[in-house]
Amino acid sequence: MNSADEIYELVKAMPEEDISKVLEFVKSLQQKSNSEFSKKRKPLSDYLGLLKDSPTFKDNPVKIQRQLRNEWD
């Protein structure tokens, strides 16, 4: 039995007044989750070209990769 099924079984046995409270709680959780997710998520296209003027990444990509790897030697 998954969590949704377990919640359903528990709620079925509750009085209607308590079910309404559970419903409001679940809706508030869903609303909070949706608003937090939409604030954090940006399309990848927002990052396109972000480092094009960075002095660190102006060189040949293979050379940059080697330099970054060698930092830890």
Q: CA-CA distance, 56 to 28, in Å (whole number)?
A: 45
End-to-end CA distance of the chain: 52
Assign 2 a pLDDT band (cuts: 50, 70, 90): very high
- Non-local CB neighbours of 44 within 8 Å, separated by 6+ positions: none
Task: Give me the mean pLDDT over the 51-68 stretch.
Answer: 84
- Residue with token string 């009085």: 15
Residue pLDDT, tens place only, 6-47: 999 999 999 999 999 999 999 999 888 877 666 677 788 888
Which of helix, strand or coil describes residue 28? Answer: helix
